[in-house]
């Protein structure tokens, strides 16, 4: 029986992929990846030049992305059959399928929607460096040390909840930024941490940009990350 | 001027090191790593067979580890000159020095004590897969999805604080377990999450062991990790 192997690609720089992920890619006969219809897809772009020329590519194109709001029942109704269909196709593949995943597959990764639909003994996951680790390395400072508490939260949460959680942590990673930035910024200000916050766009990639958040104007990518470093809480 | 390059070795399995870390190791002329006096050291063990035979090894032996409690001022008094001395020696090395670090260097890594004492333009950090990512992959379930909040906390915190934070998060990673386990377990029970908690020892290594925490008796290693998976909070 062929296996389905999801490999974490890490934060963006292909050199930060694991030795194992790299070797699996180099020997791949079928490579599958999610993408928005008509786009090359970020995961696919990251492995440009690393896939064997004769490997089959199976782009898994989302039937819907931002056209339907995430909370709308129609969103899940559209995606559930899409994931079920692809899980069945991957499970029946004639050779091992290497599924690409940005960052780490089990850390907010879309692969979980296939994983939950595949037989446990047929699937394997290779961890990767999460995007946030590439981003905090780009700031040139440790994110946590000593007895720091780290909170990772999606910027999609309501402002009051964001502010409460930011006030209550030593170090912070906020994900899913994009149009949620104004609310996140207001929450950081409310919690008195705006001056300590950094915005990292395209961490570890050629377009990498690291800036103090307070001075940022204008739109930022959804996959940016906002960080506040811990200060080494002592026991 | 020679550089000081700290490479994250990842969670344990050398195959999970990044391609870049692997290449830096293979070309190393000087390799430095922390260890307890008289012990081989976990970081050094992870790269067995990967260092060139003619590379110099610079073990940096802690003058004190568990003999003095962490909160005691004597602990910092003993360690500060040790870090200062080694920072000076690394900065003056005749060739690039590759410093080994388990997991990711900027995520609770000891390298930060050297990093803060080295000239910024002489030092470089290569991120690695954090130990926790190796551990949650070992459980075979995603740690976070949807709009889950993840809290990472050291089990060294007081029980009431542990319980409060556990009650207030979707997903949990607890580090620095060892003799803090009874307090962490009590806090998990208090927060109603003990039945959801997993203990992972030696994640991604040959001795890997994954068990529900509730049934665990007896001592566990300091570098174990306790996990509670998120449940996919919806916006």
Same domain as B118, residue B136: no
Whether residue A159 lies within 8 A of chain B, CB to CB, comes out as: no
| Residue A68: inside a domain | yes
Section A150-156 average pLDDT: 97
Taking CB atoms and an 8 Å cutoff, what residues of chain A touch B204? 127
**pLDDT value for B70:** 63
Query: Average of pLDDT values for A31-41?
Result: 92
* pLDDT averaged over every residue in chain A: 94
Compute the distance between CA of residue B234 and CA of residue A62 in angstroms, rounded to an integer. Answer: 19
Q: Residue B170: its pLDDT value, please?
A: 98
Residue B76 reports pLDDT greater than 80? no
Interface test with B, best of A147, A168, A228 (most B CBs within 10 A): A147
Dump pLDDT digits (tens) for B90-112.
999 999 999 999 999 999 999 99
CATH code, domain carrying A173: 3.30.950.10
CATH code (residue B81): 3.40.1010.10
Structure tokens at B208: 């890997």
Closest chain A C-alpha to B34 CA, distance in angstroms:
16
Other Cβ atoms closer than 10 A to A167: 13
Partner residue facing B150 (CB), from A152, A168, A235: A152
Q: Indicate the range of A60-69, A81-90, A124-133, B135-144 predicted with least confidence.
A: A60-69
Asked if residue A72 and residue A21 are part of one domain, the reply reads yes
- Chain A residues in contact with B8 (beta carbon < 8 A): 129, 133
Q: Do B108 and A148 make contact, defined as CB atoms within 8 angstroms?
A: yes
pLDDT average, residue stretch B199-213: 96
B168: chain A residues, CB-CB within 8 Å: 168
Within-domain flag for A150: yes
Are B142 and A112 a contacting pair at CB < 8 A?
yes
Are residues A58 and A91 located together in one domain of the fold? yes
What pLDDT score was predicted for residue B77? 81
| B206 three-state secondary structure | coil
Contact B119, B143 (CB under 8 A): no
Domain boundary pick from B79, B102, B129:
B129
pLDDT at position B67 is 65
Residue of chain A with shortest Cα separation from B122:
A140
Asked whether A49 and A22 are in contact (CB, 8 A), the reply is no
Same domain, B137 and B113: no
> What's the confidence (pLDDT) of residue A73?
73
In this structure, the dihedral spanned by the alpha carbons of residues B152, B153, B155 and B161, taken in order and rounded to 10 degrees, is -130
To the nearest whole Å, the CA of A194 is away from the closest chain B CA by 20
A183: domain range? 132-228
Record: contact A106-B133, CB cut-off 8 A: yes
Q: CA-nearest residue of chain B to A103?
A: B129
Q: What average pLDDT does chain B have?
A: 94
Give me the residue label for tokens 């290779």.
Answer: A126
Q: ipTM above 0.90? A: yes
Per the CB < 8 Å rule, is B127 touching A133?
yes
Would you call B153 an interface residue with chain A, using a CB distance cutoff of 8 Å? yes
What does pTM read for this prediction?
0.96
Q: Which of B72, B96, B129 is the last residue of a domain?
A: B129
CB contact under 8 A, A18 and B17: yes
Distance CA B109, CA B39 (A): 19
Facing A137 at nearest CB: one of B127, B142, B176: B127
* pLDDT for A234: 77
Rounded to a whole number of angstroms, the distance from the CA of A140 to the nearest CA of chain B is: 8
Decide which of A103, A129, A155 is a domain's last residue.
A129
Can you list the positions of beta strands (E) in chain B?
Answer: 4-8, 30-36, 56-62, 97-101, 123-126, 150-154, 171-175, 197-201, 209-212, 225-228
Does the pLDDT value for residue B78 go beyond 80? Answer: yes
Say if the Cβ atoms of A70 and B149 lie within 8 Å. Answer: no
Residue A229 pLDDT > 80: yes
Q: What's residue A141's pLDDT?
A: 96
Q: Which of A55-69, A72-86, A138-152, B33-47 has the highest mean pLDDT?
A: A138-152
Angle among Cα B212, A147, B40 to the nearest 5 degrees reads 75
Asked whether residue A234 is domain-assigned, the answer is: no
Residues B18 and A19 sit within 8 Å (Cβ to Cβ): yes
Query: What pLDDT band is residue B222 in, cutting at 50, 70 and 90?
Result: confident
> Taking residues B48-73, what's their average pLDDT?
85
Does residue A107 sit in the same domain as residue A153? no
Among A182, A149, A178, A125, which Cα is nearest to A7's? A125
Q: What is the count of structural domains for chain B?
A: 2
DSSP string, A134-161: HHHHHTTS-SB-BT--EEEEETTS-HHH
Please provide residue A21's backbone torsions phi and psi, each rounded to the nearest 5 degrees: -60, -40
Work out the minimum CA distance from A217 to partner chain B, whole angstroms: 25
Residues B25 and B70 grouped into a single domain? yes
pLDDT value of residue B234: 77
- Our CA-based measurement puts residue A20 at a distance from the nearest CA of chain B, in whole angstroms, of 5
pLDDT over threshold 90, residue B66? no
Whether B120 and B19 share a structural domain:
yes
Chain B residues 26-85 within an 8 A CB cutoff of chain A: 70-71
Most A CBs within 10 Å: which of B102, B132, B142, as the mutation test of the A interface?
B142
Instruction: Enumerate the residues of chain B whose CB falls inside 8 A of the CB of residue A127.
Output: 11, 16, 129, 133-134, 137, 204
Whole-number pLDDT of residue B71: 65
Residue B234 in domain: no
- The share of chain A scoring above pLDDT 90, in percent, equals 85
One domain for residues B15 and B118: yes
Check B71 against A108: CB less than 8 A apart. Answer: no
- Domain co-membership, A53 together with A124: yes
**Residue B233 belongs to some domain of the structure:** no
Q: How confident is the model at residue A235 (pLDDT cuts 50, 70, 90)?
A: low
Asked if residue A207 and residue A123 are part of one domain, the reply reads: no
pLDDT digits (tens, 9 = 90+) for A56-112: 999 999 987 666 666 677 777 888 999 999 999 999 999 999 999 999 999 999 999
> Does pLDDT of B68 surpass 80?
no
Alpha carbons A90 and A5: distance in angstroms, whole number: 10
User: For residues B78 and B44, which has the higher predicted lDDT (pLDDT)?
Assistant: B44
Q: What is the three-class DSSP state of B82?
A: helix
Q: Which residues pair with A124 in a beta bridge?
A: A5
Q: Given pLDDT bands bounded at 50, 70 and 90, which one contains residue A163?
A: very high
Task: Based on the fold, state whether residues A34 and A55 are members of the same structural domain.
Answer: yes
| Candidates A18, A147, A204; nearest CB to B129 | A18
Give residue A189's pLDDT. 98
The answer to whether residues B109 and B222 belong to one domain is: no
Chosen from A140, A152, A164, A187 to mutate, greatest number of chain B CBs within 10 A: A152
Q: Are the Cβ atoms of A143 and B107 closer than 8 angstroms?
A: yes
């Amino acid at each position: 029986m062929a296996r389905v192997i999801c490999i974490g690609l890490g934060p963006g720089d292909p050199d930060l992929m694991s030795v194992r992920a790299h070797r699996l890619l180099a020997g791949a006969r079928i490579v599958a990846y999610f993408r928005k219809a008509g786009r090359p897809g970020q995961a696919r772009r990251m492995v440009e030049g690393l896939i064997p020329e004769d490997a089959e590519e199976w782009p898994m194109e989302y039937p819907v992305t931002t056209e339907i709001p995430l909370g709308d029942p129609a969103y899940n109704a559209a995606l559930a059959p899409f994931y079920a269909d692809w899980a069945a196709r991957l499970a029946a593949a004639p050779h091992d399928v290497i599924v690409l995943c940005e960052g780490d597959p089990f850390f907010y990764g879309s692969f979980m929607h296939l994983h939950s639909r595949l037989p446990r003994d047929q699937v394997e996951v290779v961890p990767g460096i999460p995007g946030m680790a590439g981003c905090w390395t780009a700031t040139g400072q440790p994110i946590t040390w000593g007895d720091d508490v780290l909170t990772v939260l999606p910027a999609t949460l309501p402002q009051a909840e964001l502010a409460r959680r930011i006030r209550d942590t030593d170090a912070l990673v906020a994900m899913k930024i994009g149009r949620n930035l104004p609310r996140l910024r207001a929450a950081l200000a409310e919690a008195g941490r705006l001056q300590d916050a950094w915005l990292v766009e395209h961490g570890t990639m050629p377009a990498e940009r690291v800036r103090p958040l307070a001075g940022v104007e204008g739109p930022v990518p959804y996959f940016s990350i906002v960080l506040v470093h811990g200060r080494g809480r002592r026991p």
